[in-house]
Amino acid sequence: MIRYRSGIVLLTCGLLAACAEPAAKAPETKGARALVAEATARIQTLSAPEAIRLFGDTSVVFVDLREQGEQEVSGKIPGAVHAPRGMLEFYIDSTTSVHLPVFSSGKRIIFYCAGGGRSALATARALDMGLTNVAHVGGGFKAWRVAGGPVEPVTVAP
């Protein structure tokens, strides 16, 4: 029922409810910290001393997720495979032209980044993509250095 009063149209509740579209629910948003916390809850985290004890084991591969510039400034774990986080899914996927064979080698993969956030996310993503023998270094490369892990310099080729 429509009533006009003082130039304003009033609709009865029944008509208004029938015509109203359901309000779209705003998508839930999560910040980086929440995503890292979720990832950390479902992955294996190694302390830096635990990771250092695995250094040199031929069945283990360390994967450095940091950007080239970060490596140039602070070095890297000797022998680590460089796989910047931005390309990780493509490096893991064996059907892509940039697949890195280390990800289909059957070896244990231990991811690290500067502080542990990117490596936690990467480890969770690797699990999502079917890798099972994966972990990350809690505290990242900073913790590795503090714990006395070996480091080698990274230089840019001319």
Domain annotation covers residue 107: yes
CB contact at 8 A, 138 and 47: yes
Q: Does residue 85 lie in a domain region?
A: yes
Q: How confident is the model at residue 155 (pLDDT cuts 50, 70, 90)?
A: confident
What CA–CA distance (Å, rounded) separates 118 from 62?
Answer: 14
13 in a structural domain = no
Mean pLDDT of 130-142: 98
Contact criterion met (CB below 8 Å) for 113 and 67: no
Question: pLDDT digits over 81-105, tens only?
Answer: 999 999 999 999 999 999 999 999 9
CA distance 36 to 40: 6
How many structural domains does the chain have?
A: 1
Domain that holds residue 86: 32-146
* Parallel/antiparallel/unpaired status of strands 45-46 and 108-112: unpaired
- Whether 102 is in a domain gets the answer yes
pTM: 0.82
Q: What is the CATH number of the domain that holds 78?
A: 3.40.250.10
Q: Is residue 20 assigned to a domain?
A: no
